[in-house]
Structure 1
């Protein structure tokens, strides 16, 4: 979208890790890095978000994972780091629609089946808040939308469904020793003063801000705290 990106900059080349990963990993090993947390690009694997797999992308990530192990820097792989395939935004409305989570399932299956013999530490999604609230609520991140609170809650819900699909993929295809989790960025709340009233207010604010993600993650369902927070704007 014209005007949405500073200077019209693109990601066409940047650090060129695609070609320089061997040298990059050599540097990581020399620096004493114990692990390499990397993110796989969903549009590289499925250019349209679903359908046919791009075999060149699988080849690249296989080479990258092998290089990680060869240099003694084990990979910690993130499946989604804010790069939604544009086709899913155009066809379904992106994270507004649970069909995006349905498409995430085969994507996660493909990753674990292809790389799970060497990757044992999986991260499903990076920071749900950043591509739901920021992407569809205040418009500060892609796709730059400013939707209603109900729509934003729906994007949270779709993202959690996608997380569940990815957890299922690792549990089914990850093999012995595979671990899976999510990277969350809950918003911390600090009391204004150490009074019982301020502490109680901070705790309540923390619940209201973070219950869309933490409640279902830790409790496996939406609870009264979520219902109180979203009211009539709950996800469907």
Structure 2
């Protein structure tokens, strides 16, 4: 009961808090070692999908399935060939760090075996280019792009064999790049990956089963596979982290972490049932991965509701997983209201969603935009601080989805940056152990759910231009002024001044 009461107090305090959009913030308000950056991922930005020895990943297979409006990442933003130009844009913007992922199937084309020299060369060149220009490289090892060869051979993440293969892949990365990389993340939002990939089937590797899947999956089991895949991901992370800590960390002086997608949850009503359900939501969507990493086991509610369908850790596995991270990466976009749905526990056919005994109420007023909720980010950071001992946190993704077009006046994205950076500053002053903030995304990329129909980027990429020319949006100018020490707000005069005075970023913001 103490945990429930603590949750209520935290939630109430942040509902009462006010984060003023008119506050003027500067990079200098943050600690000097706090890092600001932007991110992408390999398949979403690199292109060159069939060049220089790279083989398909499950992301390629998904993108060519027709679910992304006929689009794919075969070319994407062509960062594979244009990385020097992109790094120059990062420098001109003032980015302190760039978060990107390594394509496993570009580095080790068959998932195991020989390293691809061309893939190794590309990542060495990208890392060196970043470092030579003073931009910290933050690397993710798995961003929804398992080599298709391993998926075909033994089912990928639902097979325990993946633990060994991932560990070998991770060690190749530590050995080849670790002398220059200080921040490693093993997995990107593992909870979303397993739920969308193995329960609903809407994302790679598109496994699900009737009647739970939201698409017509040809294979899978929505009742079991999400739990199994998450379990193997945790074991693979722990194995890779152990390798890093035992062999490389002391001399390379780096850190290894794990990324989880986080919602802010609050009760739909003030009923006892909805209040208890809110804690259950945190357990199922965040504690599912965070509890094993911090405490060595799954939340009791999950074990009770899922029963034998959720795997158990052996004592040795629990010991290896517990504490196997130096930081947690958080992807945050939205807040959700929670309603109790305990009757779902009585249903004979059960999957992950039924096990949660929840109904989630999204409060978006405009389906094309994320509503600005700075208090919700504060609430998530406070929850992590109170529940998990205040570990180091990096906000790895936070951004605004807008229709992808050549309109560069993306005021809602500026409003989001202003609001959440202000909330982050308030959380730091309240004792949060946050260490960095990365906006998603550096440029408009190939998005998982809708291809090129929407964009999150600071930069627009003209797909009709053979050279895929990049153009800075208003948000790029705003972020640049903030990062370079200017005090910025959202007043109309400030916006006009921003457009008039920030002309150092090239190319021109006007598309002919």
TM range (shorter): over 0.9
Query: In structure 1, which of residues 133, 146, 154 is the aligned counterpart of residue 195 of structure 2?
Result: 133
Question: Which of the pair has more CA radius of gyration?
Answer: 2
Higher strand proportion (structure 1 or 2)? 2
- Of residues 135-144 and 8-17 in structure 1, the stretch that sits farther from structure 2 once superposed is 8-17
Higher helix proportion (structure 1 or 2)? 1
CA distance in 2, matches of 1:176, 1:56: 24
Gaps of 5+ in 2: 1-60, 209-220, 313-512
1:90 equivalenced with 2:165 (yes/no): no
Equivalent residue number for residue 305 of structure 2: 229
Equivalent residue number for residue 64 of structure 1: 126
1:173 equivalenced with 2:235 (yes/no): no
CA distance in 2, matches of 1:193, 1:58: 54
CA distance in 1, matches of 2:67, 2:303: 36
Equivalent residue number for residue 217 of structure 1: 293
Q: Output aligned runs, 1:23-62, within 5 Å.
A: 23-62=85-124
Equivalent residue number for residue 487 of structure 2: none
CA distance in 1, matches of 2:281, 2:157: 25
Equivalent residue number for residue 359 of structure 2: none
The Cα shift of 1:22 comes to 0.8
The Cα shift of 1:212 comes to 2.5
- Of residues 187-196 and 73-82 in structure 1, the stretch that sits farther from structure 2 once superposed is 187-196
CA deviations over 1:27-75 (Å, ceiling 9, x no partner)? 1011010101111111111111111111111111111110000111110
TM-score by length of 2: 0.44
SS at match of 2:120: helix
- Of residues 194-203 and 96-105 in structure 1, the stretch that sits farther from structure 2 once superposed is 194-203
Equivalent residue number for residue 154 of structure 1: 228
SS at match of 1:36: strand
Q: Contact (CA 8 Å) 2:227, 2:311: kept in 1 or not?
A: yes
Distance 1:223 1:194, change over 3 A: closer
Q: Contact (CA 8 Å) 2:178, 2:252: kept in 1 or not?
A: no
1:106 equivalenced with 2:168 (yes/no): yes
SS at match of 1:184: strand
Equivalent residue number for residue 456 of structure 2: none
SS at match of 1:8: coil
Q: Contact (CA 8 Å) 1:211, 1:229: kept in 2 or not?
A: no
The Cα shift of 1:4 comes to 3.6
Q: What RMSD in Å do the two structures reach over aligned CA positions? A: 1.8
Number of residue pairs aligned between Structure 1 and Structure 2? 236
SS at match of 1:49: coil
- Of residues 212-221 and 194-203 in structure 1, the stretch that sits farther from structure 2 once superposed is 194-203
- Of residues 181-190 and 84-93 in structure 1, the stretch that sits farther from structure 2 once superposed is 181-190
- Of residues 207-216 and 144-153 in structure 1, the stretch that sits farther from structure 2 once superposed is 207-216
TM-score by length of 1: 0.92
SS at match of 1:77: strand
Distance 1:205 1:45, change over 3 A: same
The Cα shift of 1:6 comes to 3.0
SS at match of 1:13: coil
CA distance in 1, matches of 2:77, 2:190: 25
Q: Contact (CA 8 Å) 1:215, 1:226: kept in 2 or not?
A: no
CA distance in 2, matches of 1:22, 1:135: 34
CA distance in 2, matches of 1:210, 1:179: 22
Gaps of 5+ in 1: none
CA deviations over 1:112-133 (Å, ceiling 9, x no partner)? 0001111011111101122211
